Amino acid sequence: MTVLPIMRSPLKLFLRLLWQTLFSLLLSLGLGFGWLGSPVLADAIPSATLAAQSVTEIKVSLGNPANELKFIPDRLDFVAGKQYKLVLDNPSPQKHYFTAKDFADASYSSKVEAGKVEIKGAIHELELKPTAVAEWILTPIKPGTYQLRCTIPGHAEAGMTGTITITAGAQSV
Ligand SMILES: [Cu+2]
């Protein structure tokens, strides 16, 4: 039931600590939203706008108790500029990854509730052991269609893939 750390090498540990320190610092300065993305994206939506919005919750299961290799649902639709809480859970008997690098790059990631989850890199990939739950607060920014997959060998090939779309919102045009 426990989650083993993904990052074990000293360099990765250092980068992770650096990231966490920077993240905490930004949050403490109240500048979290603006500085986490690229300067271009940061200018697109003022942080005050993001903070004032309500959060839309989207739930995704990684696998199921019958151990089918799929995301449920396998289509996730977002509107640019809105804030979401992506709730991931793993009700299956084995470990899975929620890997959506391009989607993550097209979004602001404000926060990941990391109780039972390890963050890999810049939240491009989340590892969920059986029974784990993760909450990822994010704001999609760049409209497009993005791939979701589980990177455990054989899982994507067996159908553990998905499609994530970000459609342009009224604010982002
Ligand atoms: Cu998997």
CA distance 76 to 87: 12
Q: How far is CA 169 from CA 33, 83, 138, in A?
A: 18, 12, 15
Contact 126, 98 (CB under 8 A): yes
CA distance 143 to 34: 19
The model's pTM:
0.66
Q: How many A from CA of 165 to the centre of ligand 1?
A: 21
CA distance 105 to 90: 24
128: Cβ–Cβ under 8 A, 6 or more apart, which residues? 62, 88, 89, 90, 95, 96, 97, 98, 116, 117, 134
Ion ligand 1 residue ranges (Cβ < 5 Å): 96, 150, 152, 155, 160
- Tens place of pLDDT per residue across the chain (173 aa): 444 445 455 556 455 655 655 444 444 443 334 344 444 444 455 555 555 668 999 999 999 999 999 999 999 999 999 999 999 999 999 999 999 999 999 998 777 776 665 565 567 888 899 999 988 889 999 999 999 999 999 999 999 999 999 999 865 44
Q: How many A from CA of 126 to the centre of ligand 1?
A: 11
3-state secondary structure of 7: coil
